[in-house]
Amino acid sequence: MNKFFTLIFIFLLAAEVSGQSRFVTQKGGHSYTMDVPDYMLKTFDLNDAATLEYQNKAKEAYVIVIEDSKEELASLGIKYVSSKEFLEDFLKTYQEDAADRVVGAITESTSGGNAISQASFTWKSDDVETYMIVSAVSTKTHFYKVLGWTIAGNKSLLENDLRSMAKSLRD
């Protein structure tokens, strides 16, 4: 019996160390869903324009989603031909004045029929280095900006979760 509990403990410890998070599907905005790690809690004070916001202050893990209707953008005379173009336009000015601002190369993929572009992004503010994955998800009717961030020291622990959330978005 003692061996059984030892094996259970080792299994649970290995799962925790491997960094594999459990994700829970959450609803947001006009009618989309996104998988969010179960260690994050819903919040409402990260960004006034966000239609979905989750955080874990102890892990310094945060995510927001800002949605843009393609129809509304077109009524303003704005048309993006791809998620990459949408992301490039956003990244031009985001945190423009921050110290040590570095934007990584944009990667492109698809998930669930959605085009996804992602870039890593780091900057320093008040001597704190922040690491963010900025994603643009293009669906038939919307562009979504998914911003997931943490302190730079937690990059290796949370990067996969930050990238996975955007890839799970469905509307």
- Terminal alpha carbon distance of the chain: 48
Does a structural domain hold residue 157?
yes
Q: Is residue 100 part of a domain?
A: yes
Q: Is residue 147 part of a domain?
A: yes
Q: Residue 5: inside a domain, yes or no? A: no
Dist CA 53 CA 50 (whole Å): 7
User: Residue 111 domain-assigned?
Assistant: yes
In terms of C-beta density within 10 A (0-12 exposed, 13-18 middle, 19 or more buried), how is residue 86 classed?
A: buried
Reported as a single tens digit per residue, the pLDDT across 28-44 is 666 899 999 999 999 99
d(CA 72, CA 38): 33
| pTM, two decimal places | 0.84
Res 80: pLDDT: 97
The answer to whether residue 7 sits within a structural domain is: no
Residues in the chain where the model's pLDDT stays below 50: 1-18
- Number of domains making up the chain: 1
Residue range of the domain that includes 127:
23-167
pLDDT at res. 21: 81
In a domain, residue 12? The reply is no
- Residue 89, classed as helix, strand or coil, is helix
Given the structure tokens 């990667």, which residue do they identify? 107
Which CATH number do you get for residue 125? 3.40.1000.10
Report pLDDT for 6.
40
Instruction: Fill in the amino acid letter for 170.
Output: R
Residues 104-127 have pLDDT tens digits of 999 999 999 999 999 999 999 888
> Residue 24: which of 43, 37, 40 has the closest Cα?
37
CA distance 89 to 83: 10
